[in-house]
């Protein structure tokens, strides 16, 4: 098992990642390849969870687009992710906030952390 941990920590390139957790609003800038062109697209939403550890860590981001909830799972150390920007730090009492899926409108607001 030490060999696996050694390989994950030394061989996998890591991006600069800000500190964020469930309840925070983030903007993920990721690369999209369309034919021969490559562009950067933004996905802004609330982090529902962080899952995994080391190089296999992922996080789920949810946003509302045209009245429809859209969730996307990103690998944290993916080379496709250009950068992650934390817009707001939210105050939640859980590590996984899947209850946001069932509510909408004012109930779905997350209180902002005072700094």
Summarised one tens digit per residue, pLDDT across range 54-94 is 778 999 999 999 989 999 999 998 889 999 999 999 999 99
What domains sit in the chain, N to C, each tagged with a CATH number? 18-103 (2.30.30.790)
For range 91-114, the mean pLDDT: 92
Structure tokens at 100: 């946001």
Measured CA to CA, the distance from residue 21 to residue 9 in angstroms comes to 22
Structure tokens at 60: 């789920």
**Burial (CB count <10 Å: 0-12, 13-18, 19+), residue 66:** exposed
Task: Check residue 95 and give its pLDDT.
Answer: 95
pTM score of the predicted model: 0.85
Phi, psi angle pair for 14, to nearest 5°: -115, 140
Measured CA to CA, the distance from residue 74 to residue 93 in angstroms comes to 23
């Amino acid at each position: 098992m030490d060999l696996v941990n050694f390989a994950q920590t030394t061989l996998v390139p890591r991006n600069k990642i800000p500190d964020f957790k469930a309840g925070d609003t983030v903007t993920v800038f990721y690369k999209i390849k369309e034919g021969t062109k490559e562009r950067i697209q933004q996905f802004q939403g609330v982090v529902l969870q962080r899952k995994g550890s080391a190089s296999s860590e992922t996080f789920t981001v949810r946003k509302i687009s045209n009245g429809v909830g859209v969730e996307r799972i990103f690998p944290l150390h993916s080379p496709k992710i250009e950068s992650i920007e934390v817009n707001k730090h939210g105050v939640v009492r859980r590590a996984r906030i899947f209850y946001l899926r069932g509510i909408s409108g004012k109930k779905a607001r997350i209180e902002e952390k005072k700094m």
